[in-house]
Structure formats: C-alpha cells, structure tokens
Amino acid sequence: MKPHTLFRRAMLLSATVCAGLLSQPALSPAQAAEAFDGSKARVNLSSKLRMLTQTVGSASCRLSAGIDAEAAAADLATAQNEFNTILSGLEFGSPALGIPSAEKSRVVLKSLKEVHAKWDPIDEAVKTLISGAPGQARAADLIAGNNGALLDATMILTSDVSNEYSNPQELTQADAISMNIAGRQRMLVERISKEVCGMVDGVDQGATASLGQSLDMYTVSLNALRDGMLDAGINPPPNDAIRKELAAVQSTWNESKPILDAIRGGMQPSTENVAALASVSSGLVNDMNNVVTLYMLATPGQEDVYRVPLKAYAEEQLTKWLENPELIAAVKAQNAAHSGLTQADIDQLDLDWRAQRKEESKPLIDQLLNQPTSAWLRDQQAQTASFVTEVFAMDNHGLNVAQSVETSDYWQGDEAKWKETYGNG
C-alpha cells in the first residue's frame, strides 16, 4: 500500500461557515431556549462513544504488541480523554459540546449508568497501560476482554438517545437514521483496525471471522448512505456536499479494500499492515465526522445547532482565551518579528508551507506545531471532543502564530476569517 494512499485531508468546518450560520436570522431567546435541546449533538456524540470503544481497543492492542507504540499511546490517551469528556457532557451537559443541559430522561440516564459500569474498569486499565506501571499485560487483557461489552452498552445508549431526541425542530427520525449509520461507519473502521491487530497480537482469537462481518457491514452501509436504501429508511444524500464527501470516502475505502480482503482470505497481516491501517482508519474517521457534520447542517434546526452552542461557548470559554498571557506574548512576538515582511515574502512563506505539507521534512510546519502555545490550543480543542475541529491564532498579517492541527495554508490574510476580524478593525 503506497504511503500517499494512507491519508486523506480532513475537511474542516471553517470560520467562514460558522460566521455564515451565526449571521442567519435568529430565534428569539425564548424560542431558542424552547427549541434547542442539543438533539443533534447528543445523537452524534453518543454515536461517537461507539467508535471510541473500538479506538481504545485498537490502540491498546497496538501498544501492547509494540506496533508503533508511541503513536498508539497517543491515540489511546486521546480516545480515553474524549470518551470521558463526552460521557460527562451527555450526563451533565456541556456548552463546549453543544449540549445545553443535563440529561433528564430516565431511560437515557439508565443507559449512561450501564456505560459507566463497563467503561470505568477499562478507564483504569488504560491509565495503567499508558503509564507503563506494573500490570500492563493484565490491563491489556482487561481492555480486550471487556471491549465487546462496552461496545454493546454504547450501542444501546445511542439507540436510546436517538429515540429520545428525534424531533421536527432539530432532528427527524429519518435524519437520525442517516446520522446513526454515518456515525456507525466511524466505529466499524476502528473495529476493523482492532481486529487486524488482534490477528497479529493473538489477543482476539475470533478476529478473522468478525473481520469479515465488519468489512461486509461497512461496505453495505457505505453504499446505503451513498445511494439511499429506502426499505431501511435511509434517504439518498440531501445535497452535493454530502455526496462529494461520501465519494471521497468510497475512494479511500476502495484503495484499502484489497489488502483487507486478502487478510480476510487467510493472509497473515504484518505489523506494517497494522500500522498502515491505523493511519487509514484515522483518515476515514475524520471523513465520516465530516459527513455527520454535513448532515447536521443539512437538516432542520441547522441554525441553532451551531448558533446556540457557539454563542455559549464563546461567552463562557473563548473570552478566557483572550486573557492567556502565553498566547498574547506569542502574537506580539510574531507581530514584531514579521514587521518587515513584504507581500512577496508572505506569499513565499505560504508557498513554502503548502509545499512542505507534501514532504517528509516540514521545518516551517513543525516549528509552529511544536510551540507550547500550539500545544495549549490542542488541549483546548481536545476538551470539546471535536465540537471545535481546528484552532489557530493569526498575527497582524494573517500568518499563523500557533495552531492545533496542520492547516492547509499558512497565510489567512486573503480570507474572511482574517479580513472580517483583524482586517475589519
């Protein structure tokens, strides 16, 4: 499998899209409070817990087997943090996740309790595995042995949340079905990664049989999302943006399928296969996150699904960022360092950035991503469980100062996110 097939660019919800949503006519405060209950966020995030169970299983398998251990440990820590963040938000509410209030449904609360019962021992085992403390083999066995029960509990939770929060203001039942299937694809691709690792590590003796089931389900579901499956209540994609993103997912899946079919047919996977598949899975998860987001934007209530939580998040969280002394110092320092730049200099820096994104050596990109301020921004993003998909700060030219992820370009000065903020006073 060629390296360039392992990654696909994740389409990020840009500031201009957010600005467009926020600029639409708003409901009155009373109407918004009555209509907005975070339905879409609750359905999306409960579905995401299913995926995270398999991310934990895959990453712990790779870590215990010593397959790209550093990356596996990072994936495991991220999944653990995200699982805990989402579980707490679903139970108690979280403006950062787009959930305006604590859960009140007894059915959903019961399901949350069951997820806790299955997750809490795994959570402790993950801590042991990441820390390198004594008992790592026992911790890995506990995670593998209880992974299926945790997945079952999150699947019940997803079903209960979908049933509780389908409403014509935010989420119809048909929309919930499509979002649920798209969300399940994230889980399936991580489960496939876990199953292939299990075939190498010997943790999951039934991995070969379950791999075939996972591959078939992923293919059938992807076809249903792409073309519609009316008998199952799945409508065709509602717009070109979703169709385009699903076509991109299909392309990546087609590239990955031959090696997976070979493994299914009896080929013993190598550690290189496992590491490569983990990268492919990460890209496909990002792509399906985009599909879910696009469904959320294409269905009723799209104005409030982002406006209400974004407003709350801006008031309660983002205003505090403006007081961070390290961030302020970093912006001031870059303003001073770049005071003599011409437009030609800026254009060349942007070209260098774009070129480095395709290369092994990325000095300009790495220098920015490795800054302490960028690490701080990543921490802030992680606390939103992907409600925020990208964070960066710009200088007075529109060049990035710090950022949570690798952006497609370095200079934002020709875009609305800079022109309509700094460039507009």
pLDDT digits (tens, 9 = 90+) for 163-189: 888 766 655 666 777 878 888 999 999
Round to whole Å and give the CA distance between 109 and 368. 43
Half-sphere exposure of 98 (CA within 13 A, CB side): 24
**Burial (CB count within 10 angstroms: exposed 0-12, middle 13-18, buried 19+), residue 378:** middle
Q: What is the pLDDT of residue 32?
A: 42
Joined tokens for residue 262 = 């070979």
pLDDT at 306 over 80: no
Q: Which amino acid is at 145?
A: G
pLDDT digits (tens, 9 = 90+) for 224-280: 999 988 887 788 898 898 999 999 999 999 999 999 999 998 898 999 999 999 989
Q: What is the pLDDT of residue 386?
A: 65
Place of tokens 């397959």: 67
Q: What is the pLDDT of residue 203?
A: 53
Round to whole Å and give the CA distance between 371 and 401. 9
Task: Average the pLDDT over 42-58 and give the result.
Answer: 93
DSSP code per residue over 209-242: HHHHHHHHHHHHHHHHHHH-BGGGTBPPPSSHHH
pLDDT digits (tens, 9 = 90+) for 129-168: 999 889 999 999 999 999 999 999 999 999 999 888 876 6
Most confidently modeled range among 116-125, 231-240, 245-254, 333-342: 116-125
pLDDT band, very low/low/confident/very high, at 303 (cuts 50, 70, 90): low
pLDDT at 4 over 60: no
* Chain centroid offset of residue 129 CA: 23
pLDDT digits (tens, 9 = 90+) for 66-102: 999 999 999 999 999 999 999 999 999 987 788 889 9
* Chain centroid offset of residue 317 CA: 20
Task: Note the residue count of the chain.
Answer: 425
CB atoms within 10 A of CB 269: 21
pLDDT band, very low/low/confident/very high, at 359 (cuts 50, 70, 90): confident
DSSP assigned state of 328: H
pLDDT at 11 over 60: no
SS3 of 162, please? Answer: helix
**Burial (CB count within 10 angstroms: exposed 0-12, middle 13-18, buried 19+), residue 217:** middle
Q: What is the pLDDT of residue 424?
A: 80
Joined tokens for residue 161 = 């949340």
Task: Average the pLDDT over 365-378 and give the result.
Answer: 90
Task: Average the pLDDT over 181-198 and give the result.
Answer: 92
Please provide the average confidence, as pLDDT, over all residues in the chain: 83
Q: Which amino acid is at 265?
A: G
Q: With CA atoms as reference, report the closest residue to 302 among 15, 75, 6, 18.
A: 18
Q: What is the pLDDT of residue 357?
A: 87
Place of tokens 């997803």: 158
Joined tokens for residue 117 = 């019962």
- Phi and psi at 171, nearest 5°, equal -150, 110
pLDDT digits (tens, 9 = 90+) for 377-415: 888 887 776 667 788 899 999 999 999 888 888 999 888
* Chain centroid offset of residue 359 CA: 25
Round to whole Å and give the CA distance between 370 and 197. 30
Largest CA distance in the chain: 64
Round to whole Å and give the CA distance between 178 and 327. 40
Round to whole Å and give the CA distance between 363 and 381. 24
DSSP assigned state of 393: E
Joined tokens for residue 360 = 């092994």
pLDDT band, very low/low/confident/very high, at 114 (cuts 50, 70, 90): very high
pLDDT at 360 over 90: no
Beta bridge partners of 234: 229
